[in-house]
Every structure is written in structure tokens, then in C-alpha cells.
Structure 1
Amino acid sequence: MTYSIVAHDPETQEWGIAVQSKFLAVGSVVPFAKAGGGAIATQSYANTAYGPEALRLLEEGKTAEETLELITKDDPERHLRQVGIIDAHGNPATYTGEGCYDWAGGMIGEHVAVQGNILVDEQTVQVMLDTFEATNGSLAERLLTALIAGQDAGGDSRGMQSAALLVVKEEGGYGGFNDRYIDLRVDDHPSPIEELKRIFRMHQLYFKPSDSGRVVLIEGTLRDELDRELTRLGYKDPQKSLHKSLTDYLHTENFEMREQDESYIDLDVLDFMKNQGC
């Protein structure tokens, strides 16, 4: 009752997984990844021991195919399992046990593995693969676009409940202290993929560095507009400069990554302000 996509971006050295299921909190069960090692999706009566064991084998230098063989060979219920793996070099592998409920299967492409079970039909997997390979952008954007396309093509025959997006890269986590670059989950929602898409946009706004083309001088009508928004949102203090009021807003709202030199503002932040509280 799950479909997932596991992939690698060799240019950015990112590994990632996107998944959706008619299952509560699928993000707590299916995705496992480690920067420099690889990524795995374990589903269909998921054996969550596959995750840590596969990552250990991948870090030892095993290929995706070798890892798949080793984690499934001694599992008495391997006929019920479904797995997708990408190794440290981006090689893909996918496995669907003969006992998985129809429609169930998987496909591989360059640096990508897609798999699903209890699907409407095989088009979900085929469309996800085709979409990923035809889409430009970051690994996270390609994974999310493929997930959306899979749902549009049919998706889980039982419906939707939860979704998750996990992307890892070296020092990619907050403050550079771990590899958890993007780790987003929607645990229970009538439209989990759309909600995941919304949260991803928020993640990019909060944590992605500013686009230099969107950083502008605070002057003229833009200064008046910023003054109005800070006043409306309760951040304008007559005893403080406009810059200090803006800084108070940025720090309170967790926009430190979007903070600019004095007299400049990221227009993405101003756009967010204008929609805030509306």
C-alpha cells in the first residue's frame, strides 16, 4: 500500500527518498539514507531492520544489488517485502516479493529505483520513473515532482494518508552538524502529497540561501511597503530603526538564513510577510 522513489544526484552528492502510502506516518517506516553511503526504501510488510543493515553494507562498499541479496536471503518473509536501494555510486536495485499484493512491482533507471504495491496499475511506477528522468532541478524537487506524477497516474489503490521526503548530503543538516539536509513528513492528512509540497516550499524559504537577484535595497515605495507590513504584524517600534524592527522580525520568525546587510531585504521574505496573517 505504498509507492516510493529512491535516487542519487552525482553532481551534488545527495541521496534521497520520496514516499506516499495509505498508512499512518509512512516516513517513520520506509526511508533510510546516509550521505556517502546510499539510500533505501523498505515497504510492503516492511522489515525496518533492512534499513540499518543495508546502510551498513553499503558503507562497507557493497553494491545495491549485493546489498539487496544479503538483506533478503535469510528473511523467511522476503516474499512479502518490497525494497528499493541506491548505493554510494548511484547504482539502483529494486525487489518485489512474489507475495506482495497487486499491482506490485518496480523499475530502475539511471541513479533511480521506483517501486510500489497495492497500486491501481503499473502506470504509477512507470510515470514516476519517466517524470524523474525528464525533470530538471534539485534532487528534492525531482523526487517530489515524481511523487505527484505517480499519484496523478493512479497511486495507491486504497487512497492517501501520509507522505515523506528525505534527502541527505554531507554537512547538509541545520548548522552543518549532520547529513539530514531535508527531512519532512506528513503523518496523517487527506492530501498528504500536496501538504508535503507546501511544507517543502516552507523549508526552502526558511533554509535555502537567498537568491542574489531577489536581494534589493530598501528604498522608495518598497521602504514604505516594508514599514506598513512591520506595523501590521506588530514589529514596528517607534523607538527603533526600520532595520532593527526588520531584524526583530527575521529573528523571531526564524529567517536568519535570509538576513541581509543593513538597508537590504530578500524579496521572498517580503512576499511571505504580505501573505502572513491574511
Structure 2
Amino acid sequence: MTYTVIARTADSRLLGAATASYSLAVGNAVPALVPTAGVVASQAWTNRRLRYEMLRALHHGRTAEEAIAGLADADPDLALRQVAALPLRGPGAHLTGLSCTPWAGGVAGRDFVVIGNLLTGPEVVDAMGAAAEAALSSPGLTSLELARALVGCLRAGLDAGGDSRGQQSAAVLVADTLAGFQYPVLLDVDLRADDSPRPLDDLDRMLDLKAGAHPAPAEVVPRTEVPPRPEDDQLWSTVLS
């Protein structure tokens, strides 16, 4: 019912996610990121809490594969879920449950993971993966450039067939890892088209508007990385549903 890309820049400075679906407000349910941990997605017959479980595992130093493997203890209906995880460093991973609606599957590259279900076919994730590979090879991407690249991945998926039911919503998120852990999570880009006949066009238009907007002082990121703190764990359940 959804196709999603999660990604990081080659220098691991920026994390991002973009998702599209023929479902209402996909951005509310599918992607999540925390700058000190990584970026994740949970979809298909969506269990939103799985985002928290994966991010917590990544925060404690688990690999993406380990973070996903641990979901079996948290969700007895994991066969209905499709998830992806990408840490700050190291390979990403994805899982498509055996009961997800076909076509369903994913691809992973050095700095990205793409997953999708109820798609017209595997050509959707293949096209998104190729677009991600090309976009992330560019050095020194800014937050806005990464957001545009991720929406471009969604458009590549749409052009290849997309969600077999059509379009309704889309979203894009980007964060700078130097922001460290904050509550609420500090996002450089957080844009959604929750109910639209052309949600990707809406995201493109909003990114154009954001490019011309004056950044707020609260969005200034420190020059040095903020290390994780033990007390951060107390905030996890507040940050993610």
C-alpha cells in the first residue's frame, strides 16, 4: 500500500526518508528518524510502534539486521509488516512479511533502503533504488537537496507504476545528525501532503517555498556532534508512538 525510501548522505551527516501511498496521511504512520540513532520505516499492515523498537535498538548500537530481528519479540503479527532500518553507519536492512499484499519487496544500497507493497511490480523499487544510488553519489548535499533527491526517488517509483491503487499522500523528512538528540526531534525538513490527487507535486511546491523561506534561529545546528546521553532513553516513548 506504500513505497518508501530511507537514506543518509555519504558522509553520514544527513538522514532522510520519503514515502508515498494511496492511504491518508502516510507521513504520520510510516517514517521516523532520530539523529543519534538512524532512520526507519514501518508499513504494510502498519504497526507504528515498530519504529520505536528499531530506533531504540539502533541507539544501543545494534545493526540494522539485529534491530529488525528483534521485532519478532515485539509483534506476533510480523508476517503482516514491512520494515526498513538504516543506522548512522553500516548497512541497512529490510523485511517483508510473508502476508504482505503483493507485489511487495525491497532493495538496499550502501546508503539507502527502499521498500514497497501493493505495488504494480518489482520495477517500482528497482527504479527508486537506481534513483537513490545516483542522487546519493553527489558529495556535500544540503538538507534541501537531499529532500529533493528523496522526492525524486518517489517520482521514479511513481513513473514505474507506484502504488497499484493510485496516489493520495506523501511525505519527506530530513535531519542533520549534528543536532544530536532533542525533544521534539529537530528536523530540517518535515513536509507532508496528507490528502491530494498529486501529492508529489505538492511536496515539490512546498520544497520550492521552503527554499525561499528565511531559516528560524532555532534551526541552527551546532558545529560539533552532540554525543548520546544515558538520560536520552527516558525520552524515547515520548518522541515516537
TM interval, shorter chain, is 0.7 to 0.9
Equivalent residue, structure 2, for 1:38:
38
- How far apart, in 2, do the equivalents of 1:95 and 1:48 lie? 15
Equivalent residue, structure 1, for 2:146:
139
Deviation, 1:134, is 1.2
Question: Which amino acid in 2 is paired with 1:181?
Answer: D
Deviation, 1:132, is 1.0
Residues 87-166 of structure 1 aligned to structure 2 (within 5 Å): 87-135=87-135, 136=138, 137=141, 138-166=145-173
- How far apart, in 2, do the equivalents of 1:11 and 1:202 lie? 27
Partner of 1:36, secondary structure, is: coil
Equivalent residue, structure 1, for 2:9:
9
Deviant stretches of 4+, over 6 Å: none
What is the TM-score with the length of structure 2 in the denominator? Answer: 0.81
Partner of 2:47, secondary structure, is: coil
- How far apart, in 2, do the equivalents of 1:172 and 1:165 lie? 18
Comparing 192-201 with 121-130, greater Cα deviation is found at 192-201
Question: Which amino acid in 1 is paired with 2:96?
Answer: T
What is the TM-score with the length of structure 1 in the denominator? Answer: 0.70
1:26 and 2:37 correspond: no
Q: Indicate the percent of aligned positions where both proteins have the same amino acid.
A: 39
Equivalent residue, structure 2, for 1:167:
174
Task: Show CA shifts across 1:165-189 (max 9, x none).
Answer: 011114669xxx9521111111000
Equivalent residue, structure 1, for 2:84:
84
Partner of 2:167, secondary structure, is: coil
- How far apart, in 1, do the equivalents of 2:187 and 2:74 lie? 31
Q: Relative to 1, partners in 2 of residues 1:183 and 1:160: Cα closer, same or farther, differing over 3 Å? A: same
Deviation, 1:90, is 4.6
1:201 and 2:212 correspond: no
Q: How many residues align?
A: 207
Equivalent residue, structure 1, for 2:230:
none
Task: Show CA shifts across 1:92-134 (max 9, x none).
Answer: 1011001011100011011110000000011000000001111
Question: Which amino acid in 2 is paired with 1:42?
Answer: S
Deviation, 1:72, is 3.2
Question: Which amino acid in 2 is paired with 1:182?
Answer: V
- How far apart, in 1, do the equivalents of 2:90 and 2:204 lie? 25
- How far apart, in 1, do the equivalents of 2:93 and 2:4 lie? 13
CA contact (8 A) 1:65 1:92 kept: yes
CA RMSD of aligned residues (A): 2.0
CA contact (8 A) 1:36 1:169 kept: no
- How far apart, in 2, do the equivalents of 1:113 and 1:179 lie? 22
Task: Show CA shifts across 1:230-266 (max 9, x none).
Answer: xxxxxxxxxxxxxxxxxxxxxxxx9xx9xxxxxxxxx
**Looking at both structures, which has the greater relative contact order when contacts are Cα pairs under 8 Å and sequence separation is at least 6?**
2
Comparing 103-112 with 88-97, greater Cα deviation is found at 88-97
Equivalent residue, structure 1, for 2:190:
183
Q: Relative to 1, partners in 2 of residues 1:68 and 1:194: Cα closer, same or farther, differing over 3 Å? A: same
- How far apart, in 2, do the equivalents of 1:207 and 1:73 lie? 45
Deviation, 1:204, is 1.9
Question: Which amino acid in 1 is paired with 2:203?
Answer: L
Task: Show CA shifts across 1:131-182 (max 9, x none).
Answer: 1111245322221111111101100000000000011114669xxx952111
Task: Show CA shifts across 1:9-61 (max 9, x none).
Answer: 14261111100001000010001101121000100011111111211111111
Question: Which amino acid in 2 is paired with 1:165?
Answer: V
